[in-house]
Structure formats: structure tokens, C-alpha cells
Structure 1
Amino acid sequence: MKIRTALTLKNTSVTAAIFLLCMLLIYLLSEQTRDRTFFRDLKSEGITKAHLFLAGQADARTMQSIYLNNKKFINEVEVAVYTTDFRMLYHDAIQNDIIKETQKMIDDILRTKEIEFHIGKYQGVGMVYLFEGKEYIVTAAAYDGYGHDNVAGLQRTLVALFIVGVSLLFAAGYFLARVSLRPIRNIVNEVETISASRIDRRLPVKNGKDELGELSTAFNALLDRLEISFNSQKMFVSNVSHELRTPLAALMAELDLSLQKERTAEQYRHAMQNMLQDARRMTRLIDGLLNLAKADYRKEEISMRDVRLDELLLDVRETILRAHPEYSIELLFGQEEADDDRMITTTGNPYLLNIAFSNLIENNCKYSVNHSSTVQISFWDRWTVIRLSDSGIGMSETDKQNLFTLFYRGEDEKVVEGHGIGMALSQKIIHLHKGNIAVHSERGKGTTFVVELPHIG
């Protein structure tokens, strides 16, 4: 069921229920008013007839004859007059006797002075009537044919109004729902034109303050993020394909040359060393891509704990020196760090932080003439500050601006082997830990990375 039909049915059902309740209240109030009015008419008619009889203005036979003649045409009131000791003085039609008075009824009338009651479809009253200083009991009963006909007519009118009203409500509700949902239909039509090849299209926003405007704005913002993601993905796939093609092409070329003719053991050994070097390049590239994917996880998906940065840097230094004994890494810890361990402790993932600092230190060592890096740790305000410096060849302004761009290789790419992943990966990891990273470098004067991570102190 479409929203338009569902809204129409729901609105019509709710309105019809309220409409029906109002009509029911009208009917019940009308019936109550008829009932009270007829009791009042019965009392008036009973007193009138009792007075005529007791005053001797009309004898019993005449009054009974009038009652019987009128009863053929109208719902005449049947009146009876009793003494207080339950002796009947007058009755309009003793043979019919609608009320069938009893001693208990007479006693109730004497005690309460007036009673009202229903007998089947008839209504009746009983009252004490004082005439010339003497009390009499007067009862009156009749069927309110005229009142019931009016109420029945009102009931038929209300039913007809309900049917017509609900039909009009449904038609009006359907029309209003269709008009109200037309902008959504337009949005759907616009959305259907957006595809991966046309992701630059956006929804028109006519009124940014209403709900549909907010929906369009939110959807456009989603498309902006998706477009950035798609473009990044295409660029990533393109760059990865390019980076993997080079070592694969070299590996295949080496294999082709090796298979073309018989070679000496030394030549085979040399070819296998070249192939091993290409395989290692591919392994480093794949490891970098896997680590980059991990750095793209959301923070809540990564295991975090308290990490002492001085101990982490010691582990990083040991790992790098084990792989590159020719490197020189000097760690400088300020004296003030010993006073409070919390100042050099951050909340993070040790594995990712290890990768980030390894990349930064290795970058120092690779681009330094003496393959050295100086790492200094300190703290300021709410930050733990790590400075990683070298005295190498430095960077140009272009290199500094593009340093953290994925797969970007600097102007000195031929001097040092790499894939352009390490710096982008380090930046992602630092930002993932709510930290900051900056680079200060000049040509011929070395490079300094400044990393700020929030400490727990």
C-alpha cells in the first residue's frame, strides 16, 4: 500500500471515529432531552386531569370517554387518582392499566413525593398532589410516539450525514495526501536519475526550512560524501593497479629472460635475487595497503587502551634497528616526563601507533645522509608532543603540500625507494587518535615532523 493511500485511510478513519463519536453524543443527548421533556409533560397532564376530577369540573365517565376516543388517534396519557391509603378514586382505563399500581409503589410515592419510571416502551410518573388541604396520589403513563419519531428521524439523518461525510472526507483526504506527497514523488523521480556515472547530480531544494527541504539537503550531503568516496576509490584502484603493475612487470620480465635460454648457476642466482627483490616490493606495498585499510576503520571498531608513548617509541626503535642496523635513532626524553606517567600516556591502538611512528622515523632515516633520526618527547597543556627530526635533504614547498597525499612521491623519488603510502597512512592513524601532525622542512636543512596526541593526564 502506498503512503498516499495509507495516509488517506488513517486520516479518514481517525476523523470518521471522531465524527461518529460526536454524532453518538448528539443522539444520546437528544434522547435524554426527549425523555426528560416527556416526563415533564406527563406530570403536567396528570395534574390537569386530577384537578378536573377532584374539582368536579368533569365526571369520571366523561373523562374516560375522552381518553378512549383520543387514544384511537394519539398517544393519550393514562391517569389514575388514589387516596393515600391506596383506594382508587379515578382511572382512565382500568382494563388496560399500564402502570398496575401496587401498595409498595404508593408507599414510595408518599416517601419521595415524586417518582419517574419506565414500563417497557411507556414512561410513567407518580406524585403526591395536594388538593384543598388533602393529599392524593396521582399516576400518569403514556408512550411518547411523537418524541420517538423525532429521535428516529434524527438517527436516520445522522447516519446519512455520517456516510456522506466519510465519503467526502476520504475524497478530500486522498486529494490532500496526493498534493502533499507530490514533492516526494518529484524527489523520487530526481533520485532515479542519479547513478554511479551521474553521481554529481543533486536534488533541488525549494525550501530548506521544511521537512522535505531538510530531507533533500541531507540527501545531497550524503551524495557529496558518496561522490568523494567513489572518486577516492577510483583513484585508489587506479594507483594501486599502477603500483602493482611495476613489480609484477619486472618479475615477469625477469622470469621470461630466465626461461629464454640456459644460464649459469650464477646468472640464475642473480635472476632469483631480482625476482625476490620485486616480490618483497610487492609484499611491502600490500602490507601498506592493508594497514591503510585498517586506519580507515571507525574509532569504535578499533581496540583502544592506554599506551605509554615512551615505551612504544622504544619498541619502534628496536624493530627498525633490527631490520636496518645501519640506521641511527636517538630518543630524547625530557626530565619532566618522569614526574607523571599520565602526561606521556595516550588512549590508542598500539599496533597502529607503531606503524605511524615507524613510517615517520624511517622517512627521517631514508632521506638523511647519515640515516639518522632524533626523536624527542615532551608534553604541553593536554598534548603529548613528539618531534622527529633529521638533517637530510629536506623538502620543497610542493612536496610539503602533497606529503600526505596517498601514492604521492616527492621530487626525490629516484633517490629513495617507496610507494607513497607511509605518510598518508601515518596521518590517518594520528587523526584517528584525535591528534595532529605537521611537517617543517627546508631544502638542505632537514625535516621535522611534529605529532601531538592527547594524553590522559
Structure 2
Amino acid sequence: MKIKTKLALLYTLITVGILVIVFVFVYLLTSKNIDNNYYTLLFDKALITAQKHFEKDELSQYAYQKILDSYQRLLPETTERVIIVNNRQDATDELAPFLDNKQIEELFNKHQVKFEIDNLSGVGIYYPDNEGNFIIIVTARNIQGDYLKDTLKNILITILIISSVVIFGLLWWNAKMITRPLQEMVIRMQEITPKALHLRLEERTGSDELAQTINYFNRMIERLEISFNSQKTFVANASHELKNPLTAIMGECEVMQLKQFTPDEYKMSIRRIESEIERLSALVNNLFQLAQTDLDISESGTERLNVMEELQSVIQYFEYSKYKGRISLVKDEISFHIKSNSHLLFVALQNIIENACKYSEDEVSVRAFKTKSGFQISIADKGIGIPPGEIGKIFDTFYRAENTRSYKGAGIGLSLAHKILTLSGADIEVLSMEKGGTTISIVWKNSF
């Protein structure tokens, strides 16, 4: 069942339920008024009946004639019964077919009673007279009242049926108007495929829930498109980069099978294969780290880290590497906290500092200091620098500047560092001059 039908049915049931309650209330109230009016007429008929029987000798001819005329006009369909109350037991026996004991007791106490018996409405009154005490019982069927009640019931049922149909139709039409944008969204969504991620839902004006949903959906598709394109590029570049060492290994193996070589030549060939395998292993490891960065940041648990302590750990790591003594650290005695993953932050800082050492023969200067708006780490070298037109590309995966071709590397380290630092809330600025050195500044503006 479609949403518009569900909405129409739901609100129709609610509305019809309310109408049923109102109509039942109206019917019961009207029926009660009809019955009360009829009982009033029956009491009047009972009183006139008593006057007709017992007031003739006490009234003038004219007054008594008026009573007779009223008696003839008022409810001529009634049946009257006059009961003498001189003997209480006899009177009780005569009243028993009409009244219960409580009602009989009320009559003897000179109260009026009303009752129903065999679809007849009836009243009883106690009438004292100089001739004795009497009880007048008047019964009749309220034909006109029953007709009015049946007519009212039929009218209300007819109105309810017609109203239900009209209300359902109006609500269905209204629900259709409301859900039309959803139907258009569904049709448009079906057109969005992996080959057509550039498509978007048509934006709506306003700030209602539907407009927000469309806006969030378009943003999500935009992120998916960027991620999908990045993955395509990543896979293509990774395939190319992995192919190079594998091709070199396969080529070396083929050459070794062409003829007999001396032991020294075999050793040289094996060393070349070993070098390519090391390169392949480093490449695979870097690719794995790059692919896992987003997952690690979001799932492995970020924590509140002191940047100065993390930087000090990286500097100590280099004291046991081939770059020992090449790095100078200048720092303020302050602490600054960020929210990140300790392992990944170590990898990011290590990659940037290691790059600075690799492309420079001179000392690499690392400065950490407090700024007006946050905290900054600057890593400066006096190495080969970056060509002016390539500074904006150095953080692209697998990209390597033209002047770095003679150095080992896969173009992954800076890309990985950039992703980690960006996810930790840092901005990265690069200043470089070809053959004049490079300075990379990592700036955090918010502390945790």
C-alpha cells in the first residue's frame, strides 16, 4: 500500500471516528429530548384524564367543556386506566403489570413515575380527590417520536457514509499532492547509478523536512561521488605503481633464465629482486595505511592528545634512524591538546619530517610554538624545493614532483599525512622555492 493511501485511510478513520462519536452524542441527546417531551405530554394527558373523571361536578359547564376538548386533542392514541387506592393491596395488584415495587411505592408517596412496557411509554400520577384517592395510568406508543428518531438515525448514517467517502477522497488528493515530491525523488533516485553519480535531486525552496532531506541526500551523493572517483583514481594509480616493481621482478627472473651466469651475477640479480620486493612491500604497506586512515580515525578510537608529547616521540624515533643528528627541535614549554589517533598522528609527522630529511642534505629545523589562535608546527629544510606549478599537487596520492624522480618513493607519504592531519582538525600550509628549500606548517586553531 502506498504512503498516500495509508495517510488517507489513517486520517479518514480518525475523522470518521470523531464524527461517529459526535453523531452518537447528537442522536442520544435528541432521542432523550424527544422522549422527555413525550412524557411531558403523557403527564398532561394523565392530569386531564383525572380532571375529566373527577372535576365535572366542581367546574362550570364551560370550563369542563374546555377540559373535554383538551382531552380529545391531546394524544388521542393513549390508553388510560383509573385505579382506586382505597385498598392498597388491590391497587398494588392492578399496578404490578406496569410498574415495579419501587415505582409503586413512589406512586403511593404521591410522586409521578414514568415507565416503558412492551414498546409503550407510560406515566402514572397520584390524584387525590374529594371522592377518594386515585392513580391514573396512561400508556401509548410514541409513533411520531420513533419516526423522528429513525429519520435522524438514517440521516446521520447517510451523512457519515457520504462524509467518509468525501473525506477519503479529499485526504487522498491532499496526500497525493504532499507525496508527489517523494514520487519525483524516487524516480530521480532510480536514475542515480554508479555511472551517473553526477545527477542530483532538484532542490526545493524553504526549510521544511522534505527540503532538508533533499539537501542532505544531495550532499551525501556528492560525498559518494568524490569517494567513488577517489577510489577509481586510487585503484588505477595503485595498479600502475604495483605493476612497476612486479614488472622489474618478472623481467629480472626472465633474464636469469636466458643463460648461465656467474655466481656474482646471480647475486647482483637477486639483490635487484630484493630491492624491488622491498619497494613493493613498502608500497603495499603505504597503500594499506592510506586505505585504513578514515576507518582508523572513525572507529579505532580517537583520544585527547598532547601535540608536544607526540612530536617529541617522533623526534626521538629519528634519533635511532639514519637521520640521527639531522633534526633540530625548537619548542615552547607549553601543552596543546587535539583529538586524534596517536598512531596515525605519529605516522603523519614522521612522513613529513622524513621527507624533509630525504630531500635535503642540511639540517632540518622543527619548531613548535603557540600562536594567537592556536598551535603551529613548522618543518623547514634547505633541500631541492618544489617547482612553483606543482606545490598544489604534492598531497595528491601517487603524485611526485619532477625534481624527485631520482629519489626513492611512491608519492603516498605526504598524501597520507595530509589526510591524517586534516581529520585531526589541522590546516597545512606549504612555502617552497625550487632549490631553495621547503617549509611545511601544520596549524591547529582549536584545542580539546
Where on the TM-score scale, by shorter chain, does this alignment land: which range? Answer: 0.7 to 0.9
Return the letter of the residue paired with 2:80. E
Gaps spanning 5+ residues in structure 2: where?
Answer: 59-67
Verify: 1:197 aligned to 2:180, yes or no.
no
The correspondence of residues 223-238 of structure 1 with structure 2, limited to 5 A, is: 223-238=221-236
Q: CA–CA distance in 1 between the matches of 2:189 and 2:20? A: 42
Structure-2 residue corresponding to 1:17: 17
Structure-2 residue corresponding to 1:61: none
Q: CA–CA distance in 1 between the matches of 2:387 and 2:249? A: 33
The correspondence of residues 36-115 of structure 1 with structure 2, limited to 5 A, is: 36-56=36-56, 75-80=77-82, 82=84, 86=88, 99=98, 105=103, 107-109=105-107, 111=109, 113-115=111-113
Equivalent pair of 1:81/1:88 in contact (CA under 8 Å): no
Verify: 1:355 aligned to 2:347, yes or no.
yes
Structure-2 residue corresponding to 1:187: 185
Question: Does 146-155 or 310-319 show the bigger shift?
Answer: 310-319
Structure-2 residue corresponding to 1:62: none
Structure-1 residue corresponding to 2:31: 31
Q: CA–CA distance in 1 between the matches of 2:52 and 2:299? A: 100
Verify: 1:451 aligned to 2:442, yes or no.
yes
Query: What is the CA deviation profile of residues 374-417 of structure 1, one whole-angstrom value per residue up to 9, with x for unaligned ones?
Result: 22222235634322221222223323222222222113122422
Secondary structure of 1:389's match? Answer: strand
Q: CA–CA distance in 2 between the matches of 1:57 and 1:182? A: 86
Kindly state the Cα deviation for residue 153 of structure 1 after the two structures are TM-superposed: 3.0
Q: CA–CA distance in 2 between the matches of 1:244 and 1:22? A: 79
| Counterparts in 2 of 1:308 and 1:328: CA distance versus 1, 3 Å | same
Structure-2 residue corresponding to 1:340: none
The correspondence of residues 280-299 of structure 1 with structure 2, limited to 5 A, is: 280-297=278-295, 299=297
Q: CA–CA distance in 2 between the matches of 1:396 and 1:130? A: 128
The correspondence of residues 259-408 of structure 1 with structure 2, limited to 5 A, is: 259-297=257-295, 299-325=297-323, 328-334=326-332, 336-337=333-334, 343-370=335-362, 372-380=363-371, 383-408=374-399
Kindly state the Cα deviation for residue 162 of structure 1 after the two structures are TM-superposed: 3.1
Kindly state the Cα deviation for residue 315 of structure 1 after the two structures are TM-superposed: 3.1
Kindly state the Cα deviation for residue 429 of structure 1 after the two structures are TM-superposed: 1.1
Kindly state the Cα deviation for residue 26 of structure 1 after the two structures are TM-superposed: 2.4
Q: CA–CA distance in 2 between the matches of 1:79 and 1:57? A: 21
Secondary structure of 1:157's match? Answer: helix
Return the letter of the residue paired with 1:329. I
Query: What is the CA deviation profile of residues 285-314 of structure 1, one whole-angstrom value per residue up to 9, with x for unaligned ones?
Result: 222122212322374413233434444334
Q: CA–CA distance in 1 between the matches of 2:442 and 2:119? A: 96
Return the letter of the residue paired with 2:25. L
Verify: 1:417 aligned to 2:372, yes or no.
no
Kindly state the Cα deviation for residue 76 of structure 1 after the two structures are TM-superposed: 1.0
| Counterparts in 2 of 1:100 and 1:426: CA distance versus 1, 3 Å | closer
Equivalent pair of 1:295/1:429 in contact (CA under 8 Å): yes
Question: Does 241-250 or 198-207 show the bigger shift?
Answer: 198-207
Secondary structure of 2:403's match? Answer: coil
Q: CA–CA distance in 1 between the matches of 2:442 and 2:131? A: 114
| Counterparts in 2 of 1:101 and 1:17: CA distance versus 1, 3 Å | closer
Q: CA–CA distance in 2 between the matches of 1:101 and 1:323? A: 113
Query: What is the CA deviation profile of residues 299-342 of structure 1, one whole-angstrom value per residue up to 9, with x for unaligned ones?
Result: 441323343444433432343343425661222233x33xxxxx
Return the letter of the residue paired with 1:244. L
Equivalent pair of 1:208/1:217 in contact (CA under 8 Å): no
Q: CA–CA distance in 2 between the matches of 1:109 and 1:258? A: 131
Secondary structure of 2:305's match? Answer: strand
Q: CA–CA distance in 1 between the matches of 2:185 and 2:397? A: 36
Secondary structure of 1:199's match? Answer: coil
Equivalent pair of 1:129/1:136 in contact (CA under 8 Å): yes
| Counterparts in 2 of 1:301 and 1:350: CA distance versus 1, 3 Å | same
Question: Does 283-292 or 156-165 show the bigger shift?
Answer: 156-165
Query: What is the CA deviation profile of residues 67-87 of structure 1, one whole-angstrom value per residue up to 9, with x for unaligned ones?
Result: xxx9xx974143436558859
Q: CA–CA distance in 2 between the matches of 1:22 and 1:136? A: 45
Equivalent pair of 1:344/1:378 in contact (CA under 8 Å): no
Q: CA–CA distance in 2 between the matches of 1:194 and 1:249? A: 39
TM score, norm. by length of structure 2 = 0.84
Kindly state the Cα deviation for residue 263 of structure 1 after the two structures are TM-superposed: 0.9
| Counterparts in 2 of 1:18 and 1:345: CA distance versus 1, 3 Å | closer
How many residue pairs get aligned? The number is: 434
Q: CA–CA distance in 2 between the matches of 1:381 and 1:134? A: 115
Q: CA–CA distance in 2 between the matches of 1:358 and 1:42? A: 107
| Counterparts in 2 of 1:411 and 1:33: CA distance versus 1, 3 Å | same
Secondary structure of 1:197's match? Answer: coil
Structure-1 residue corresponding to 2:65: none
Return the letter of the residue paired with 2:190. E
Query: What is the CA deviation profile of residues 338-364 of structure 1, one whole-angstrom value per residue up to 9, with x for unaligned ones?
Result: xxxxx2454432210110111111111
Kindly, what percent of the aligned residue pairs are identical?
Answer: 27
Q: CA–CA distance in 2 between the matches of 1:222 and 1:83? A: 94
Gaps spanning 5+ residues in structure 1: where?
Answer: 59-65, 338-342
